Amino acid sequence: MGVTPKIAPSMLSSDFANLASEAHRMINYGADWLHMDIMDGHFVPNLTMGAPIIESLRKHTEAYLDCHLMVTNPLDYVEPLGKAGASGFTFHIETSKDNWKELIQNIKSHGMRPGVSIKPGTSVEEVYPLVEAENPVEMVLVMTVEPGFGGQKFMPEMMDKVRILRKKYPSLDIEVDGGLGPSTIDVAASAGANCIVAGSSVFGAPEPAHVISLLRSSVEKSL
């Protein structure tokens, strides 16, 4: 099927004063991707990072930079992030219902891999047209907390969305983000998620490498 585990530590939980060394540390511990939360203070209350930080980090790592855009106008970010060296560009369907075709095309033309995300209150059916389009997204991110802040409690009821997506699209990359860690990974992996974003559970662990390995083995068993 081609679906493989991808463990993506959320750099929002890292030490921002040492971003390059934190990135190296995560990759050395076995991470596949580095998850970059880009928030605009408008679509979500928090304000985090933008293209300059992606550009700075890109100079220090060849890792896949998995950018999650929690912003009101994702189209405005495509060119700057493409130039900065982002690898993946995941936008929210809630802000892009009218222009997602243009958005996907732009993301791909700037050398990035397009993904779409849904908030907990958004129906999973909203993303079907984007997965089935002639020029489709390549990943769906199911938020398992309300976007905007790290350290929230995992919402197990979101796993129904993951199950539906996995059954409908067996070879799709399905990402989950929010409250993922050793106590919640099995339910997410068994529902069909293969891309796992984990922040405080990795960065706050005495042995981050052990947590990354545990997340991976749970996904591998379920796949």
Q: Is 41 annotated as a binding residue?
A: no
Q: Is 66 annotated as a binding residue?
A: no
Q: Is 148 annotated as a binding residue?
A: yes
Q: Is 35 annotated as a binding residue?
A: yes
Q: Is 32 annotated as a binding residue?
A: no
Q: Is 30 annotated as a binding residue?
A: no
> Which is catalytic among the residues 15, 32, 37, 66?
37
Alpha helices in the chain, H assignment, sequence order: 19-28, 51-58, 75-84, 100-109, 128-132, 159-168, 185-191, 200-203, 208-222
From the number of C-beta atoms within 10 Å of its C-beta (0-12, 13-18, 19+), residue 166 rates as: buried
Q: Is 50 annotated as a binding residue?
A: no
Q: Is 40 annotated as a binding residue?
A: no
Q: Is 68 annotated as a binding residue?
A: yes
Q: Which two tokens stand for residue 28?
A: 């050395």
> Which is catalytic among the residues 32, 40, 173, 177?
177
Q: Is 115 annotated as a binding residue?
A: no
Q: Is 37 annotated as a binding residue?
A: yes
Q: Is there a contact between 88 and 67 (Cβ–Cβ < 8 Å)?
A: yes
Angle between helices 75-84 and 100-109 (to 10 degrees): 10
Q: Is there a contact between 108 and 115 (Cβ–Cβ < 8 Å)?
A: no
What are the residues facing 34 on neighbouring strands? 65
Q: Which of 3, 29, 6 is nearest to 196 (CA)?
A: 6
Q: Is 192 annotated as a binding residue?
A: no
40 is catalytic: no
177 is catalytic: yes
CA pair distance 8, 195, nearest whole angstrom = 7
Q: In what order do the strands lie in the sheet with 64-70?
A: 6-9, 195-198, 173-177, 139-143, 113-118, 88-92, 64-70, 33-39
List residues forming the annotated binding site for a divalent metal cation: 35, 37, 68, 177
List residues forming the annotated binding site: 10, 35, 37, 68, 148-151, 177, 179, 199-200
List residues forming the annotated binding site for substrate: 10, 68, 148-151, 179, 199-200
Q: What is the set of active-site residues?
A: 37, 177
